[in-house]
Amino acid sequence: MSNYALIVIIVVYLSVLFYIAFFAEKKRQSKWVNNPYVYTLSLAVYCSAWTYYGSIGIAANSGINFLTIYLGPVIAAPLWIVLLRKIIRISKQHKISSIADFISLRYGNHRFLGALVTLICLFGTLPYISLQLKAVSETFEIMADETSYTSTYVIDDSTFYVALLLAVFATFFGTQNTDASEKHKGIIATVAFESVLKLLFFLIIGVYITFYLFDGTTDIYNQISTSANFKELTTVNGLEGGFNWFFTTALSFIAIFLLPRQFQVSVLENNREKHLKKAIWLFPLYLLLFNVFVIFIAWAGKLTFDASVNAEYYTLLLPLKNGNSFLATLVFLGGFSAVISMVVVSTLALSTMVSNNLIIPYGFLDKFIKNLPERNSKYIKTIRRISIFTIIIAAYFFYVSFSKELSLYSIGLISFVIISQLAPSFFIGLYWNRGSSKAAIIGMVAGLAVTIYTLVVPFILKAYTGTDDFVQYGLFNISSLKPYALFGIDFLSPPMHAFFWSMSINGLCYLTFSLTSKGNYRERNYAEMFVDSKNFTTLQDSALVWKGEAYVADIKNVLIRFLGEYRANRALKIFFTKYKLSPDTQLADARLINFSEKLLTGSIGSASAKILIASVVKEEQISLVEVLKILEESKETIVSNKVLIEKSEELSQLTSKLKDANDELITKDKQKDDFLDTVAHELKTPITGIRAATELLMDDDDDMPNDIKNQFLTNILQDSDRLGRLINNILDFEKLETGRLNLTISQLDIQQTIKKAVASTQHIAAKKGIQINVKNVHRFKIKYDEDRILQVLYNLLSNAIKFCEPETGTIEIDYKLGSTVLEISVSDNGKGIPPEDIDYIFDKFYQSQHQNTIKPEGSGLGLAITKQIIEKHNGKIWADKARKKGAKLVFTLPFN
């Protein structure tokens, strides 16, 4: 097949992937993207080119050892329900974006630890990625039928362009969000799709080779069983082989959790915990299917080709040898898809770590603190994109310079061993809260050093010097320091030997230092949260997730700023007494910080309290995650403050309404009191008169002159009448006000009624020398209750008489017809109504509120009763405000 045809196939395939990713991003909420099958298939990113090609190489050369790499995950799968679920929960709760984040957070958000984990992951994954590129390159060569061709220039090498394309893909779908804990649905969808493809194509080629090229499994078995090393290939090879089996299985058990790409798909991209339930049986099944034909393909290859052919590519070579280039292309695409998934997910995971745990905290943090949030997110994305490209290109150059010497299998194992250095602090730290950051760092560094000595150095030395001296004789010719046989342990394969020693030393360091050194409060807080993840929500509420140390004096200053000197001092005193601390304590501990935060929360809210307290702890120790968290939280605070302001405005409006209503109630209540007071007062006055006069008459020893006696009797009579009137008025008023008064309506002549009213007041007016004139003399018939209207007119007239000057006073009664009402007015030339009172004169006992200046000369109920009567007639009554001289009171009676 030609180079160009292959490139076209690759480009078409990549565009299909682009389309799938694009579609999945667009339908983020769709069932197609969010289901347990997609989740399980995405886990199959575990099966990289190593599985696709490498397994067959091992099966051909060293027998069934290839299975160990899948045994670990199969053993791990049932544990996921407990272990992985816990990890997922913690990660979701803390918005964890990578395994470096996870481990550093467990140890109190330790910046250096995060960076160290990142470096280990980079170190472990870069060769692994380059091994994938190697697979692409070599299969490309086989397919393009240019077996002898090796590019000398990067520009000529198609692998380089493939690498670039992968970088573009990872960048495009991997960095759409600043928040790296966001799900990458597009990438996950393509990974799931490719997992189907690679399995399908692998099964097809397996069936083709086993049943088409050969006569089924028995045929292959029978043929191979005659070969020389058959027993070696099909058994575990004694105790030593058993150790190798055991360690490789353990290694792959660790890898399924800790490989950055596995952590990415199984933890970070998990959107429902229940998907795990399907994954625990479906994923092992997937692995089983993948391995069904491995051994037969390997044997078939061995039977077909001689030893000089690279066994890893039997799947390609067998169909090609038989002229089936279509099947070969399928196999090539399957392998290619395994590569893409692995490279894209790995670089995505690594770039997040590199940006969040390496570059930003060590170079850009100051800048981020000063910048606007929008600019920050742009920066972060740019850093991740550059990281993706750098990682892939670095992997490419690693491939160019090293990996041509090594098999897929060996590089894969080296990667696993390096990554496994995270295991003690990861797994033990999940269940043991004593594990400290110091111990984690020492363990990792020691384990890594051992790995480098026993695995990496020999590999590099061999690559450069081409000799085996170092391996043969050890460092300084000390035999117990032989890199492949430290302290005489020489029965393990080099990777397993490295794994054994590094893990022993790493774990030992971790346990020892954890027991001897205690982490600071931050670490212990997080340790509690991780270990006791069921209660960690409450723990998180009470724990102070802040970095660095703070001085009591600084915290006190902050407290004073918000609580005042007195309260701050008192609070601190209480705190010190409660925890039996010396008042001279200089360094604040978690409890004090927690306590202060709670104190401040009361006045300024929790987010601001955190920021404030943060301002007095050592700033350099704040990690990016926290800074972003603060930015995010303060944004939320601003939003919620806005809501709060709105709410409080609403509230104060409500309050003022309530206050008004309350005032009204109080006024009403006071009015009621006043009413009763006034009634009592009004009743007491005539009673006092009656009592005094009666007493004097009774005690009279016959020297009281007769005219005085008569006058007293007259007074008694007057006061009794007054009392009677008052009581009637009160009863009237009460009846009117409660609406129990019924009018006796009849068709009457208003002129007649007015005449009657004038007649009944004439004598009082005459006494004061006041004139009453009726201006209108036309008869007019209208419906009303005559007694009540007479009462109204009588009240108005007597009021007018009251306020008129004697002798000069004149009163006029007039009426005119409106369109729907009859308007009757009573006006006088008296002192008039003060403008400030004009609105209140119809209130009951209005006068009583102005008793200091105006002595009530009636019951104080007259106008109130008048108003009630008019309103009962559906009329209106008012005082004419325009009148300058004297008062004019007007009322209306509707025609109907």
127-166 residues in contact with another protein (CB under 8 A) are none
Give the C-alpha separation, 416 to 402, whole Å.
Answer: 18
Q: Measured from the CB atom, is 62 or 715 closer to another protein? A: 715
Looking at 123-131, 283-291, 464-472, 710-718, which segment touches another protein (CB under 8 A)? Answer: 710-718
Helices and strands, counts by H and E, the chain: 38, 9
Of 132, 193, 119, 124, the C-alpha closest to 167 is: 132
Residue 31 phi/psi, 5° resolution? -65, -30
From 477, 517, 711, 728, residue interacting with another protein (rule: CB under 8 A): 711
Q: Measured from the CB atom, is 486 or 690 closer to another protein? A: 690
Tokens of 541: 């509420």
Place of tokens 């290839």: 66
Give the C-alpha separation, 742 to 240, whole Å.
Answer: 117
Give the C-alpha separation, 55 to 291, whole Å.
Answer: 8
Determine if 696 is a binding residue for another protein (CB under 8 A).
yes
Determine if 375 is a binding residue for another protein (CB under 8 A).
no
Whether residue 834 contacts residue 854, with contact meaning beta carbons closer than 8 Å, is answered with: no
Looking at 23-31, 235-243, 354-362, 704-712, which segment touches another protein (CB under 8 A)? Answer: 704-712
Closest distance of CB 839 from another protein, Å? 22
Closest distance of CB 857 from another protein, Å? 9
Determine if 684 is a binding residue for another protein (CB under 8 A).
yes
Determine if 688 is a binding residue for another protein (CB under 8 A).
yes
Residue-wise DSSP of 633-653: HHHHHHHHHHHHHHHHHHHHH
Closest distance of CB 681 from another protein, Å? 5
Of 47, 236, 72, the C-alpha closest to 132 is: 47
Q: Measured from the CB atom, is 804 or 890 closer to another protein? A: 804
Determine if 539 is a binding residue for another protein (CB under 8 A).
no
Q: What element of type H or E holds 810?
A: strand 810-817
Q: Measured from the CB atom, is 371 or 720 closer to another protein? A: 720
Of 116, 118, 91, the C-alpha closest to 105 is: 91
Q: Measured from the CB atom, is 489 or 692 closer to another protein? A: 692
Determine if 708 is a binding residue for another protein (CB under 8 A).
yes
Q: Measured from the CB atom, is 663 or 677 closer to another protein? A: 677
Give the C-alpha separation, 347 to 703, whole Å.
Answer: 129
Give the C-alpha separation, 446 to 460, whole Å.
Answer: 20
Q: Measured from the CB atom, is 407 or 729 closer to another protein? A: 729
Determine if 692 is a binding residue for another protein (CB under 8 A).
yes
Residue-wise DSSP of 533-566: TTSHHHHHHHS----S-EEHHHHHHHHHHHH-HH
Determine if 660 is a binding residue for another protein (CB under 8 A).
no
Looking at 19-27, 293-301, 453-461, 714-722, which segment touches another protein (CB under 8 A)? Answer: 714-722
Tokens of 157: 């090498």
Whether residue 163 contacts residue 393, with contact meaning beta carbons closer than 8 Å, is answered with: yes
Looking at 312-320, 577-585, 639-647, 685-693, which segment touches another protein (CB under 8 A)? Answer: 685-693
From 685, 771, 776, 849, residue interacting with another protein (rule: CB under 8 A): 685
Determine if 783 is a binding residue for another protein (CB under 8 A).
no
Of 241, 226, 258, 311, the C-alpha closest to 67 is: 241
Chain-centre distance of CA 226, in angstroms?
A: 66
| AA identity, residue 681 | H
Determine if 712 is a binding residue for another protein (CB under 8 A).
yes
Whether residue 623 contacts residue 114, with contact meaning beta carbons closer than 8 Å, is answered with: yes
Site size toward another protein, by CB under 8 A: 27
Determine if 764 is a binding residue for another protein (CB under 8 A).
no
Of 327, 389, 321, 329, the C-alpha closest to 354 is: 389
Determine if 622 is a binding residue for another protein (CB under 8 A).
no
Closest distance of CB 868 from another protein, Å? 26
From 319, 447, 689, 862, residue interacting with another protein (rule: CB under 8 A): 689
Q: Where are the beta strands (DSSP E) in 657-799?
A: 746-749, 771-774, 781-784
447-476 residues in contact with another protein (CB under 8 A) are none
DSSP character at residue 617: B
Determine if 222 is a binding residue for another protein (CB under 8 A).
no
Determine if 680 is a binding residue for another protein (CB under 8 A).
yes
From 237, 718, 771, 849, residue interacting with another protein (rule: CB under 8 A): 718
Tell the burial category of 692 from Cβ atoms under 10 Å away from its Cβ (0-12, 13-18, 19+).
Answer: middle
Looking at 405-413, 568-576, 673-681, 888-896, which segment touches another protein (CB under 8 A)? Answer: 673-681
Closest distance of CB 697 from another protein, Å? 10
Strands ordered across the beta sheet of 771-774: 771-774, 810-817, 821-828, 888-894, 877-879
Q: Measured from the CB atom, is 554 or 805 closer to another protein? A: 805
Determine if 681 is a binding residue for another protein (CB under 8 A).
yes
Closest distance of CB 708 from another protein, Å? 7
Determine if 855 is a binding residue for another protein (CB under 8 A).
yes
Determine if 727 is a binding residue for another protein (CB under 8 A).
no
Residues at the contact surface with another protein, assessed by CB under 8 A: 677, 680-681, 684-689, 691-693, 695-696, 699, 704, 708, 711-712, 715, 718-719, 851-855
